[in-house]
Amino acid sequence: MSSPKPLWNPYLAGALLGLGLLLTFVMTGHGLGASGFTTRLSAAVSHTVAPTATESNAYFGNMVGEDVNPLDSWITWQVIGLAIGALIAAVSAGRFKISIDGPNKLRISARLLLAFLGGAIAAFGARMSLGCTSGLGLSGAATLATAGFLFLIGFFATGAGFGLLLKRYWR
């Protein structure tokens, strides 16, 4: 097996991300985002299981109903394209592998629990702030929205704080 290709230059990668964000605004009228897809997926699943309750729900109600598919949205296609593009990039760079990362002094079950808890907290925060790292952070900051900058400051400060708390669990 050949060795993986080197990682991209971070300046080039950042410039391409910025151009991609600009292109997304120009082509779709929307910035980048992902957490809205999980909301729409939840609405679709909820509507399949309990249609009446979902339609009368204040949060999901406007996404579902007769002749309305919550997954029929630009964000659905963006997330699907992102997943396919990431898979193609990882495979073509020889970097695709399935692994459980995290603090290597912890058992795998503890790593999975931390990942689940972190993901649940991040998902809750994304819904409370009305955007995720890409939607509120990148797209919000690109449009000079105060909320985007505040989100990024809080995101990095929280990550640094938890990184320091969990540092002892890494080798």
| Higher per-residue pLDDT: 109 or 68 | 109
What percent of the chain has a predicted confidence (pLDDT) above 70?
Answer: 99
Distance CA 14, CA 91 (A): 21
Name the DSSP class of 69.
-
Single pTM value for the model? 0.77
Backbone angles phi, psi at 156, to 5 degrees: -70, -40
Q: Quick one: pLDDT band at residue 1, thresholds 50, 70, 90?
A: low
Mean pLDDT over 112-121 rounds to 92
Mean pLDDT over 80-91 rounds to 92
Helix (H, G, I), strand (E, B) or coil at 155: helix
Whether residue 164 has pLDDT greater than 80: yes
Distance CA 171, CA 161 (A): 18
Per-residue pLDDT tens over the stretch 126-153 = 888 878 888 888 888 888 999 889 989 9
Predicted local distance difference test score (pLDDT) of residue 32: 86
